[in-house]
Amino acid sequence: MSDEYVTVDGVREIVREELRDHGITKQKATPAPKKDSHDDHDGHHHINGWGPHDWEHGAPHNSWAPIIMSLGIGVFLFSFASTFAMNESMNNYVFSAGSLPMVFVGFAIISAGLLVWWRQDLAFDGHYEPKATGVPFQNIDIRKVGMWVFLMSEMMVFSSLFSTYIRYRLGTESCQVILDNHNTYSNGLPFSPGDACWVPASYFIAGSHSESWTLSLGGVGLPDTLVPGAINTFALIISSFTVVMALKTAKREDMTSTERSKKVRNYLAATWVLAVMFLVFKMVEWFIGFNIGPFHAPSLMEDGFTIHNELYSFAGAGHDGGHIDVNLRLSAATFFVATGTHGAHVFAGIIGLTYMTYKAHKGGYNPDSAESIEYFGLYWHFVDLVWVLVFPAFYLY
């Protein structure tokens, strides 16, 4: 650092040079309105909030998307709560079919808002890319910082779910221990049927409790229900790879734009397929179960691992014939909501990928605008990373 005395004007000049060097001055203020364009008195361009948007003038000044999506979310939550209501004894729900269509109406409104948002975004080609000016982020894309900030909040979402899990996992007596102790809690009190205790999901998934068939690979027995989860783990990891390949390809200058668009689209589509596969296998694991040859591997529902099961006949390990009737609702709720929240994140990713694949198909990603894929990739890697934590904690432990 220099100790030279610098005048105020000198500083101004240096700063301006600095800005030019960093290309920040390229990010001009909104250009003077063209006389022939449809702008109103206060210099607003594009009063049309429905899109498509002309990004030459900077970010959209008007958009119907926010208000429409908000309304949709409101309708969805309202009608969801009208459709399902817990019953008097708090062990099941009352289903009102009359409000169910409104749930889908809510979805439709949210989708309409999203379509408006995307329509405005479609023309974004990277020429309007706001850059940071404040230390220590100078010349970094503002969107990138925003995505990292968002991931900070996502981190807290999953931390809270893990807090719930840790609280209940460590604070609830394990059913296996109770069974081992001849139907008594570790404090000596007797266990009565229907009492709550902890049955980890891994008991159904990674354990070999069920009479059904166990997949054998090269002599190593693999519990049947673990198969979807294991496949899913690899599906997500591969999808992280394909999204990186999409970014890498979009940045390549050594091919024609048609060729590049096609490749980018294919990589994004592959990511999409893997993500959908993840959710499909999740449904198989939760609700459907699967057949290989003559054998049927039961789903978690068939196993009795449901949020409403108050009397599950727990046989445990090493107690031939002995069993206790346990209330495993809490174990199930914790498992399904934690992994379900992760699934919801995958679903959100699928929604985004659908649009991005379409945009890639239209040739929307080139070396100038490839960053959009990078920022989606940040989110996608995060979702992947969370699965790497969720999988051992909920499926194996």
For strand 295-297 and strand 290-292, is the pairing parallel, antiparallel, or unpaired? antiparallel
366 binds another protein (CB under 8 A): no
Binding residues for another protein restricted to 27-46, rule: CB under 8 A = 29-30, 40, 42-44
* Residues between 193 and 232 that touch another protein (CB under 8 A): 196-198
Among 33, 52, 80, 128, binds another protein (CB under 8 A): 80
Binds another protein by CB under 8 A, chosen from 102, 112, 215, 337: 337
- Per CB under 8 A, the list member of 119, 252, 262, 329 interacting with another protein is 329
3-state secondary structure of 117: helix
Contact 352, 376 (CB under 8 A): yes
Q: Are 265 and 357 in contact (CB under 8 A)?
A: yes
- Closest listed residue to residue 196, CA positions, set 82, 307, 80: 307
- Span of 159-167, 239-247, 258-266, 288-296 interacting with another protein by CB under 8 A: 159-167
> According to CB under 8 A, which one of 37, 104, 127, 160 is a site residue for another protein?
160
CA distance 364 to 260: 10
Short-list 268, 230, 227, 279, CA closest to 246: 268
Candidates 5-13, 275-283, 317-325, 380-388; binding stretch for another protein (CB under 8 A):
5-13
Binding another protein by CB under 8 A: which of 137, 234, 287, 397?
A: 137
Dihedral angle sign, alpha carbons of residues 205, 207, 212, 216: positive
Q: How many residues bind another protein (CB under 8 A)?
A: 98
Distance CA 149, CA 378 (A): 11
Nearest distance, CB of residue 234 and another protein, angstroms: 28
Distance CA(226)–CA(397), nearest Å, equals: 12
186 binds another protein (CB under 8 A): no
By CB under 8 A, residue 128 contacts another protein? no
Minimum CB distance to another protein, residue 218 (Å) = 40
CA 82 from chain centre, in angstroms, equals 26
Question: Among 164, 174, 184, 208, which residue interacts with another protein (rule: CB under 8 A)?
Answer: 164
Q: Which of 23, 101, 146, 367 binds another protein (CB under 8 A)?
A: 146
d(CA 95, CA 130): 49
CA triplet 371, 344, 283: central angle to 5 degrees? 125
Work out whether 8 is an interface residue with another protein (CB under 8 A): yes
Decide whether 137 or 295 has the Cβ nearer to another protein. 137
Cβ atoms < 10 Å from Cβ of 183: 15
The stretch among 127-135, 176-184, 226-234, 256-264 that binds another protein (CB under 8 A) is: 127-135
